[in-house]
Amino acid sequence: MSALLTATCAVPAAGAVLTAALPAGSSEGRRRTTKAVALGVSAVTLVLAAAVATRFDPHGARFQLTESYSWIRSFGITFSLGVDGIGVVLALLTAVLVPLVILASWHDADPPSSAADGPGARPGRQAGGEGPNAARPDGTFENRRRTQGFFALILAVEAMVVVSFYATDVFVFYVFFEAMLIPMYFLIGGFGDRAGGPESARQRSYAAVKFLLYNLLGGLVMLAAVIGLYVTAQDQGFGTFDLPTLTSAIADGRIQLTGTAEKALFLGFFFAFAVKAPLWPLHTWLPNAMGESTAGTAVLITAVVDKVGTFAMLRFCLGLFPNASKTFAPAILVLALIGIVYGALLAVGQKDIKRLVAYASISHFGFIIMGIFALTSQGQSGATLYMVNHGLSTAAWMLVAGFLISRRGSRLIADYGGVQKVAPVLAGTFLIGSLATLSLPGLAPFVSEFLVLVGTFTRYPAIGIVATFGIVLAALYALLLYQRTMTGPVKDGVRTIPDLKARELLVVGPLVALTILLGVYPKPLTDLVNPSVNATLTQVHQTDPAPAHPVAATSGGEQK
């Protein structure tokens, strides 16, 4: 039995403990050591995740590289790991993004008086300011472990998310699905954006508590459903949480779920995933959380943590409750459609850059969920690719926006103008992120959005047609944001901002390259994803709709 999956999960977890245990102090040398350790751990995790992707055989068994360790025998709970094509690509996305987030957040936990501050650095709190790193009159800082804590929390999130993508035990998945809320809560509330104005501490606290309460509520509902599933299965001789065993037994009728029971259990799981995703109308925590977070934390929220919710819809909702999934699919598609249009409309009217990106993400998650519950191979392949491509494009967009905000010290769109004249590289990378967000052909999100719309239209043409309106709105909010911030006369507060530096280019460069590469050649991802998508459709007893006008072939091989 290979231990590769366990190693991929254990390395960031051990790195989080190591980073937190590093010697405390406010000296630049100790902070640099902490950052280097965290970056090194994330790089090792990336190598391991890449090894998993390399060893995965798309044409092999559904779950590969499986591992199982006994945990709570009396309840049939095992620490079981295994990957399918969908889990492989999402874990790899996580492993790619975390080192870039660490590099982008290099100075986010520095004290305001550090040498890192200066021209082009993030505005810091002055002596006597608020927050856990506020300066004392003697120049020391109340929290000397701020840097260690910040980077340890990032690695802890990575470990828990990777376990969620690899877990094949329902209970293990639930534990880490909930546990990741703890480090995210502290990243939002304790290490938030310093450009939020005088009320920033109160706003961060509100955003963190709202994030936690919404997701805890979803988790409690899911816990009741997990218990209900176990009790139902145990009564029929399957006292286990093992996902492959449960899905196989449900598929061949060895576990019988009544219609009412299956619907109730489905809704319990789906509610938790819809909160995490987030799906309208359970989305309201996201704009607050992203708006009050640092840019790196905002990327963790929308490009990493939220993907666990949509991934779980594919793996658990459709696999465990196929009949209920088909029953509720039309209603879920309507909610997804509302989310697409609603999120885009609110993005158009935003005055805050980060909140605009947050509402744009709500619109994008609507497309992902629509693709999942269209129950077609094109829709689900597109939804999975959308998770990856949205993660890359939104990370690029948000991180460049974060670099811009750190220079100007304001999140308000009205405070910018003419940036392309003083920082052309920053403006150019921001333009690529904007074009990717509106799914320009040739960039990665176009492929996934096209597949989602095609897959939806073949089964639900009316919903597919209305959803295309979201593309028009995406062009509106993305291009208006670029026009208002990057073009026109140079505003006074923008004249002295520097262009992207080497570390920042190292962050943005890989994201831009991957966005272009996967837009031109998405085949490596589709080859990994498609077999798992087909297996999911088989579980729900669905096939793609036949063409309305089939093409017949003549004996000579010509079509007519």
Inform me whether the pLDDT recorded for 553 exceeds 60: no
Inform me whether the pLDDT recorded for 478 exceeds 80: yes
Q: How confident is the model at residue 1 (pLDDT cuts 50, 70, 90)?
A: low
Inform me whether the pLDDT recorded for 554 exceeds 60: no
In the numeric block, which tokens belong to residue 407? 């220079």
Looking at residue 555, what is its pLDDT?
47
Q: Is residue 176 part of a domain?
A: no
User: How distant, in Å, are the alpha carbons of 67, 182, 337, 527 from that of 458?
Assistant: 39, 41, 16, 22
In the numeric block, which tokens belong to residue 303? 């490009």
Average pLDDT, whole number, for the chain? 86
Q: Is residue 250 part of a domain?
A: no
Looking at residue 194, what is its pLDDT?
62
Sign of the C-alpha dihedral, residues 374, 378, 382, 384?
Answer: positive
Give the position of tokens 């505005």: 123
Question: Which of 220, 300, 228 has the alpha carbon at shortest distance from 262?
Answer: 228
| Mean pLDDT, residues 376-404 | 92
Q: Is residue 381 part of a domain?
A: yes
User: How distant, in Å, are the alpha carbons of 202, 263, 308, 334 from that of 384?
Assistant: 37, 25, 12, 20
Looking at residue 147, what is its pLDDT?
83
Q: Is residue 391 part of a domain?
A: yes
Q: Cα(42)–Cα(400) distance, rounded to whole angstroms? A: 21
Higher pLDDT, 199 or 318: 318
| Mean pLDDT, residues 116-142 | 38
Looking at residue 124, what is its pLDDT?
40
Inform me whether the pLDDT recorded for 544 exceeds 80: no
Inform me whether the pLDDT recorded for 112 exceeds 80: no
For residue 553, give the 3-state DSSP assignment: strand
Domains: count for the chain: 1
Looking at residue 197, what is its pLDDT?
53
3-state percent breakdown (helix, strand, coil) of the chain, nearest 5: 70, 5, 25
Exposed/middle/buried for residue 466 (C-beta within 10 Å: 0-12, 13-18, 19+): middle
Q: Is residue 101 part of a domain?
A: no
| Mean pLDDT, residues 165-183 | 93
- Read off the pLDDT of residues 214-239 as tens digits, 9 standing for 90 and up: 999 999 999 999 999 999 888 888 88
Looking at residue 114, what is its pLDDT?
47
Q: Is residue 115 part of a domain?
A: no
| Mean pLDDT, residues 392-398 | 93
Q: Determine the structural domain holding residue 393 and report its residue range.
A: 321-546
- Read off the pLDDT of residues 329-377 as tens digits, 9 standing for 90 and up: 999 999 999 999 999 999 998 999 999 999 999 999 999 999 999 989 8
Q: Is residue 445 part of a domain?
A: yes
Looking at residue 132, what is its pLDDT?
38
Chain centre distance of CA 354: 16
Instruction: Produce one character per residue of 142-160: b if its CB has 16 or more CB atoms within 10 Å, e if not.
Output: ebbbbbbbbbbbbbbbbbb
Model pTM score = 0.88
CB 275 within 8 A of CB 306: no
Alpha helix stretches (DSSP H) within 438-501: 444-459, 461-467, 469-486
Looking at residue 545, what is its pLDDT?
76
Sign of the C-alpha dihedral, residues 162, 163, 164, 165?
Answer: positive
Looking at residue 408, what is its pLDDT?
87
Sign of the C-alpha dihedral, residues 497, 499, 502, 507?
Answer: positive
For the ranges 184-193, 292-301, 397-406, the lowest mean pLDDT is seen at: 184-193
| Mean pLDDT, residues 280-300 | 90
Higher pLDDT, 96 or 319: 96
Q: Is residue 394 part of a domain?
A: yes
For residue 70, give the 3-state DSSP assignment: strand
